[in-house]
């Protein structure tokens, strides 16, 4: 062992025998807080090259302390006097003037950065920002949790445990926080650490965690009352966001103690967390959470990298003038062409349906689930499942760890960090659910069910080929009932399956769009052209990508995109060459959509009809509808260029570029159009020269 290693070991082994701080030497002040009477210093350690971090805290006065100070053992030095007022410096017996210190050695650079004072900034974190910035950062940079697991496994600090519920799922243990001496309740500070692993923070909580959270609130407060006599009504319990470490833990402090981290941008009362989840299972997946982040932290740097703290001109621009990415957009267009192959490549060895078509149908199924689940998130998961088409191995024979790394690399190489991280977070969640790694939420259970239902549908469609629709649908009906699709309750109670059969008819009708070739490509004699469903798939992906803009687009554009051509399963793909007036086309599509959803419950029918109508109406100020219209036209010319390269017939689809030359309204898509046209011109110039 090296001399430095021996010094570190000796320092650690002597914690329990230490009587002074003679081996520590002040190096510099890292931070101080006058209100909490706390200072953090970096110290040098005799015989060691590793620094120590020392957290020094002046403890609150107790009645015993005050009695001892107001006695003959206290020396005084007069500072000033005026009439009846006198001011003195007191020199009390050290026994009545306690100062506590926590020592970290060997301290790493992360520890020093953690405790070093620096300016703080507020972040208003949306779901997109969490998936795209915060989550990737904390997964990469978080501290080791070994010390937490040592406590949970009783390898360390066993003598400090004051209460434990040993249930592995809904249990926890409690111990005094290091900030508290345990000598008085005035500054009581107790920490509860849950046994269940994998819950990083508030963002992971859903209704499946309610039994655990209720145990923490009721049993935790009762344990403190029994141990320390502090009434339940005088105990504050809360969860930090952002936490100092990413394993769920709850803070319990005396109500009248101004504990560190109880400020509104840091703490969330446990009672309110429970109430929010009782009302909305996915509250913390979609809520905007505000927190403070200091400039020394890696999380601040991650937000700064995407320009979050800049006073951007975009804040004052209209939505139509916003751009998707700064600088060149060539790599983004390359990615969109890469994802375009999901429109054409089969989703497995056993069926002809493509990744894009299957993803689109799963997204529509997600929209028809009960309102008690986060349907928008499920729609996104369904669409990003198509990223399985990227990389070297297909979905049928994939090694998931390899697939995840390939997808992550492709996304980071082609998209801005925020978008790349968000898409990868969604894709990794899809992979985890596909592999059976569910977190217990309704969303995970429902998405797993949708994946299984889609496989049943694909197999059923293969069996139906050449046999009509008389193949048994019992397995599909049963699966739909489990997922609570329309008619599930009636089927479970009295085996009445008319509503479920009506819903299946709807699914089978829209599934025709997975085989309906788009008219424009057919008329131009494109070989194996895309289907209507495949077109709506990429529009849905585009809708997810654009949802990070300052104006909250969320996934409205995505939902509109996957619904806008749905009526074509009844009336077909009507193009300008079909010599149908704009008014007649709109009337036919609306009537077809109404007929398509006639036998569906009103809430589901409206959930599909409203996005369709928004696309058709194109009302001023409906930015999501306007954006989707731009996506529709851009996807067409992007697909045209892909066909031109594939067919090797020169620029034979020029009419599509001519018809869209001046139709785009959003600056973001205009920028894409300009880049695509330049790329296309350069491509055919090179082809001519060759």
Active-site residue numbers?
Answer: 249
For residue 234, give both structure tokens. 């005088």
Q: How far apart are CA 67 and CA 124, in angstroms?
A: 48
Give me the count of residues in the chain. Answer: 690
Q: How far apart are CA 535 and CA 564, in angstroms?
A: 10
For residue 323, give both structure tokens. 């751009």
User: Is the torsion defined by CA of 682, 683, 684, 685 positive or negative?
Assistant: positive
Report CA Rg, the chain. 31
Cα separation values, 519 from 332, 470, 526, 631, Å: 27, 30, 10, 18
Q: How far apart are CA 551 and CA 544, in angstroms?
A: 14
Q: Which helix (H) or strand (E) is 678 found in, with range?
A: helix 667-689
Q: Which residues pair with 87 in a beta bridge?
A: 80
Compute how many other C-beta atoms are within 10 angstroms of the C-beta atom of residue 79: 9
DSSP string, 46-64: TT-SS-EEEEEEEPPP-HH
Largest CA distance in the chain: 108
DSSP string, 1-41: --HHHHHHHHHHHTGGG----TTEEEEEEEEEETTTTEEEE
| Angle at alpha carbon of residue 29, lines to 26 and 31, rounded to 5° | 145
Q: How far apart are CA 386 and CA 413, in angstroms?
A: 18
> What stretches of 100-155 show up as alpha helix (H) in DSSP?
109-115, 127-129, 135-141, 146-152
Task: Judge if the upstream peptide bond of residue 242 is cis by omega within 30 degrees of 0.
Answer: yes
Q: Which residues pair with 251 in a beta bridge?
A: 191, 238
Of 409, 385, 417, 389, the residue nearest 548 (C-alpha): 417
Q: Are 251 and 238 in contact (CB under 8 A)?
A: yes
Cα separation values, 488 from 56, 155, 460, 495, Å: 62, 50, 20, 9
Q: How far apart are CA 429 and CA 432, in angstroms?
A: 5
User: Nearest 5°: phi and psi at 47?
Assistant: 85, 5
Q: How far apart are CA 561 and CA 628, in angstroms?
A: 6
Q: Are 535 and 516 in contact (CB under 8 A)?
A: no
Q: How far apart are CA 259 and CA 189, in angstroms?
A: 8
């Amino acid at each position: 062992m090296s001399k430095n290693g021996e010094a570190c070991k000796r320092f650690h082994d002597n914690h329990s025998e230490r009587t002074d701080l003679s081996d520590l030497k002040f190096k510099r002040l890292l931070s101080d807080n006058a209100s909490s009477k706390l200072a953090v210093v970096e110290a040098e350690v005799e015989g060691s090259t590793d620094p120590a971090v020392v957290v020094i805290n002046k403890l609150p006065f107790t009645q015993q302390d005050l009695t001892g100070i107001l006695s003959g053992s206290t020396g005084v030095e007069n500072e000033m006097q005026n009439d009846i007022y006198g001011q003195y410096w007191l020199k009390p017996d050290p026994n009545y003037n306690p100062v506590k210190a926590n020592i970290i050695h060997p301290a790493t650079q992360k520890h020093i950065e953690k405790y070093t004072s620096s300016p703080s900034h507020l972040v208003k974190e949306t779901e997109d920002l969490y998936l795209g910035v915060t989550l990737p950062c904390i997964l990469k940079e978080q501290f080791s949790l070994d010390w937490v697991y040592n406590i949970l496994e009783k390898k360390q600090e066993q003598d400090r445990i004051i209460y434990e519920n040993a249930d592995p799922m809904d249990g926890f243990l409690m111990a005094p926080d290091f900030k508290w001496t345990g000598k008085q309740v005035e500054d009581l500070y107790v920490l509860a650490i849950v046994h269940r692993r994998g819950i990083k923070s508030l963002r992971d909580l859903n209704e499946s965690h309610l039994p655990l959270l209720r145990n923490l609130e009721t049993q935790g407060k009762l344990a403190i009352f029994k141990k320390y006599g502090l009434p339940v009504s005088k105990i504050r319990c809360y969860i930090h966001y952002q936490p100092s470490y990413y394993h769920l833990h709850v803070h319990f402090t005396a109500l009248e103690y101004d504990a560190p981290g109880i400020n509104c941008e840091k703490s969330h009362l446990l009672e309110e967390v429970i109430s929010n989840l009782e009302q909305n299972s996915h509250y913390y997946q979609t809520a905007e959470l505000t927190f403070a982040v200091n400039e020394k932290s890696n999380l601040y740097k991650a937000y700064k990298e995407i320009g979050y703290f800049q006073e951007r001109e975009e804040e004052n621009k209209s939505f139509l003038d916003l751009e998707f990415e700064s600088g060149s957009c060539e790599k983004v267009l390359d990615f969109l062409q890469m994802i375009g192959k999901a429109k054409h490549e089969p989703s497995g060895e056993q069926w002809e349906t493509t990744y894009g078509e299957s993803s689109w149908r799963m997204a529509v199924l997600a929209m028809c689930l009960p309102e008690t689940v986060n349907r928008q998130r499920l729609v996104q998961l369904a669409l990003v499942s198509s990223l399985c088409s990227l990389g070297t191995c297909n979905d049928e024979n994939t090694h998931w760890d390899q697939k995840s790394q390939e997808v992550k690399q492709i996304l980071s190489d082609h998209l801005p960090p925020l978008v790349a991280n968000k898409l990868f977070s969604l894709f990794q969640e899809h992979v985890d659910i596909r592999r059976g790694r569910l977190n217990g939420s309704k969303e995970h259970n429902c998405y797993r069910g949708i994946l299984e239902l889609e496989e049943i549908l694909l197999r059923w469609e293969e069996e139906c080929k050449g046999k009509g629709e008389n193949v048994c649908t019992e397995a599909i009906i049963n699966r739909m009932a489990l997922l609570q699709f329309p008619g599930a309750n009636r089927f479970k109670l009295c085996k009445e399956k008319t509503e479920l059969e009506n819903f299946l008819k709807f699914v089978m009708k829209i599934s025709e769009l997975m085989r309906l070739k788009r008219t424009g490509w057919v008329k131009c004699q494109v070989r194996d052209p895309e289907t209507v469903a495949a077109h709506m798939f990429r529009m849905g992906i585009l809708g997810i990508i654009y949802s990070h803009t300052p104006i909250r687009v969320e996934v409205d554009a995505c939902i509109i995109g996957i619904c806008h051509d749905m009526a074509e399963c009844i009336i077909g793909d009507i193009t300008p060459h079909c010599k149908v007036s704009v008014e007649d086309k709109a009337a036919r599509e609306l009537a077809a959509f109404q007929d398509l959803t006639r036998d569906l419950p009103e809430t589901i029918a409206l959930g599909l009809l409203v996005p369709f109508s928004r696309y058709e109406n194109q009302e001023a100020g409906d930015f999501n509808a306007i954006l989707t219209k731009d996506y529709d036209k851009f996807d067409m010319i992007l697909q045209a260029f892909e066909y031109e390269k594939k067919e090797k017939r020169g620029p034979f689809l020029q009419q599509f570029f001519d018809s869209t030359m001046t139709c785009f309204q959003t600056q973001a898509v205009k920028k894409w159009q300009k880049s695509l046209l330049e790329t296309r011109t350069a491509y055919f110039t090179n082809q001519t020269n060759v």
